[in-house]
Amino acid sequence: MQLDGAKETPQHTRCSNPILPGISVISWNVAGLERSRLIPDWLALIKSFDICCLQETWDLYALNMEGYKCYVKPATASSSGRAAEELAVWIITLLRVEEVPLSSSAVQILRIKPQVQETLILINFYNNDFGKDNIANFKELFGIISHIKKERYMGKTYNILLCGDFNAKLALNQI
């Protein structure tokens, strides 16, 4: 991969995954990539994963990736008026997926049902850094996770995978 004349090697590691054995996941904030010459190299890297959780996609989800289905949470205006928080997840078509309807602009939830393992709840999160929405986004995320945990106590079994760009330092500075 070439970046502004300097060579860059993408760093990613495949490790043993006890929740979804044999399934690889990447999470990436791809802001600005649509203006880049890197898209062909980027697509090749992304296609080496089974589940791709992306934040700030800015219409990159429109790219065709054969063998994948794309689930999109469109951008909404932030408190500053700038569009923000667009989320997309590309998942190989071999996995059964159910999109969970949610009014949140910062959170995207998918139920992934592998052939043999328990259901995986995939949460793709983007916390913008535009002021007052920061803390509200985290509170909403924690509320969603608490709800899922309560369902576990009622006999439903889920594994949870939380991916995203949390901009956590920005949020903690506002507390």
Q: What's residue 150's pLDDT?
A: 78
**Long-range contacts, 3-6 (Cβ 8 Å, 24+):** 3/38
Largest CA-CA distance found in the chain, in angstroms, rounded: 55
Residue type, position 116, single letter? V
Helix (H, G, I), strand (E, B) or coil at 148: helix
Listed residue (94, 91, 129, 85) closest to 110, CA to CA: 91
Domain spans of the chain, in order of start:
22-173
- DSSP conformation class of 51: E
Q: What's residue 120's pLDDT?
A: 85
Residue type, position 173, single letter? N
Q: How far is 83 from 60, CA to CA, in rounded Å? A: 15
| Phi-psi label, residue 20: left if phi above 0, alpha if psi -120 to 50, beta otherwise | beta
Q: What's residue 119's pLDDT?
A: 81
The CATH number of 22-173 is 3.60.10.10
pLDDT along the chain (175 residues), means of 10: 37 52 84 67 84 82 82 72 73 90 84 76 82 74 86 72 80 52
Q: Are the C-beta atoms of residues 90 and 68 closer than 8 Å to each other? A: yes
Q: What's residue 8's pLDDT?
A: 39
Q: Are the C-beta atoms of residues 72 and 97 closer than 8 Å to each other? A: no
- Give the pair of three-digit tokens for residue 129: 């850094």
Q: How far is 44 from 58, CA to CA, in rounded Å? A: 19
pTM for the structure as a whole: 0.74
DSSP 63-100: S--TTEEEEEE--EE-TTS-EE--EEEEEETTSEEEEE
Q: What's residue 125's pLDDT?
A: 92
Q: Which residues are within 8 A (CB) of 99 and not within 5 positions of it... i.e. 6 or more apart?
A: 71, 109, 110
